[in-house]
Every structure is written in C-alpha cells, then in structure tokens.
Amino acid sequence: MITKDEQHTIEQYLKTIGINTMEFFEEMYDHICTSFENRKDKSQGIDAHIRDVVQPSFGGVNGIIKIRDQRTKARIRLVRKRFGQIFISYFLGWPNVLITFGVILGCWTLSQLFGIKTLITISSICFIFIPLTFFFGKWIQFWRKCKKAGKVYRTSEVYQIFTPFMALALQVPNMTIQSWNMFADKDIYGSLFIHPEICIPLSIIMLISFFTLSKLYKEEFIIKTSFN
C-alpha cells in the first residue's frame, strides 16, 4: 500500500514537471503508483523510484512532456475531424439536413421581418456568447470541484483544447467595434447589412456551427496512453 506521504510526493512531482490536466495526470499517477507497488527492491523509496525507474522509462522529464504534447495534438486532431464530420452532416446527412432547411428558412424569415442586423445579432449571440458563457461556466464549475476535492490539477484536456478557440471568439466583439470605428465614415460597415446574399449565408454558417459545437461538447474523446 502507498502511504499518504508517498501519494503526496507523486502528486507534487507531476505538478512540478507540468502535468496539470486531469486525464494525463490521473494516468501518470496510476502508472507511478502501480510501478512503485510492484518494484523489485522493496526498500526503495518513492523519490528514488521516480528518479531511477519511472523517469528513465520515459526518457526523462522531456520524454513525459513529449507524451503530454502528443496527447494534446492527438485530441486536437480528433476534435477538428469530428467537428468537420458533424458540420458536413448538417448539409449531407439525414435527418440533420432537416435542421439546416429549418435554419435557412428561419434566417430568411427573420431577415424579412426584422432586418439583417437583427439576424446577424442573433446569429452572433448563438455562435459566440452562448458557447462562451457555457464554456467558462463549466470550466469554473470544474475548477471549483477540483479545488474542493483537493486535486493538484485545476483543468482538463477538454478545456485546454477549446481555450484558444474561445479566446479568439472573445476578440470578435472588439474587432467588430474596431471595424465600426475604422470604416464608419466610409460606410463600409453599414453597407454590409444591405447585402443579404452575404449576411444570410454567414448567419446560416454561424448557426450550424452553434449546433455543431453543441453536439461536439456532448461527445467523449478518450485517449489512453500506452505504458510499456
């Protein structure tokens, strides 16, 4: 059995070398615990075991960091691929294509009844502000849960991957304001809204992206590290 002090040593070691996401942290923690419990030299302490057995088996700390980065890249590829599959299914797949027909009809009707600006505003709220609010709400909830449980990590690979996208989305309102200030006198910004052939397809894409993100979040992208 591993003592509380030995568990603490493993947790602090992983924290020190930069393993701060739940998935990889838990896998590495379990691997080190199993390795230590099955060690040949029962007199070997946890610090010596990590230094002389665990680290060399991965090629040192750099080897562990390399695996961490490979996991992140693999998860990003999976998320991007799945996003593309779901997005395309709204145009080519049944019955998702019915939702797309509904979005197209809704965008056209909304533009006719309330104008292009209203349509763009609603589409932007669905594509930017709702996902942002949901994302940060879930991340804060996860952070508080980890803190309450006394976990060393405070984030997950899921939030780590989506953070750059959300950070970019946060810049959209600022870019919109800057565009307004830059082109207001030339009326370029205002003239955009008199072209439904641009704004309606843009709104459709944003709304379909919103539905895609909603489905994507519900899916699990499980990546297991193979320990030799």
Distance, CA of 70 to CA of 103 (rounded, Å): 38
Put simply, whether the predicted model's pTM sits higher than 0.85 gets the answer: no
The interaxial angle of helices 4-16 and 22-37, nearest 10 deg, is 130
pLDDT value of residue 74: 84
Report the C-alpha gap between 3 and 197 in whole angstroms.
67
Distance of CA 218 to the CA centre of its chain: 12
- Say what the pLDDT of residue 40 is: 85
Helix axes 22-37, 157-183, angle to 10 degrees: 160
Distance, in Å, from the CA atom of 36 to the CA atom of 28, rounded to the nearest integer, reads: 12
Report the Cα–Cα distance between both ends of the chain, in Å, rounded.
22
Bridge partners of 155?
Answer: 21
Interval 184-222: pLDDT, tens: 445 444 555 556 777 888 889 889 988 988 888 777 665
Categorise residue 104: left if φ over 0, alpha if ψ from -120 to 50, beta otherwise. alpha
In order along the chain (228 residues), what is the average pLDDT of each group of 10 residues? 88 92 91 90 90 91 90 83 90 91 92 86 84 84 90 84 64 57 50 68 88 80 60
> Is residue 34 within 8 Å of residue 74, measured between CB atoms?
no
Q: What is the pLDDT of residue 83?
A: 86
Write the single-letter amino acid at 34.
Answer: T
Instruction: Using CA atoms of 29, 35, 37, 39 in order, give the dihedral in degrees to the nearest 10.
Output: -150
Q: What CA–CA distance (Å, rounded) separates 75 from 73? A: 5
What pLDDT is attached to residue 13? Answer: 93
Which pLDDT belongs to residue 165? 62
Give the pLDDT of residue 168.
Answer: 61
Q: What is the pLDDT of residue 188?
A: 47
H helix intervals, 149-224: 157-183, 188-192, 196-218
Phi-psi region of 187 (alpha: psi -120 to 50; beta: other; left: phi over 0): left
CA distances from 185 to 95, 121, 178, 179, 181 (A): 46, 22, 13, 11, 8
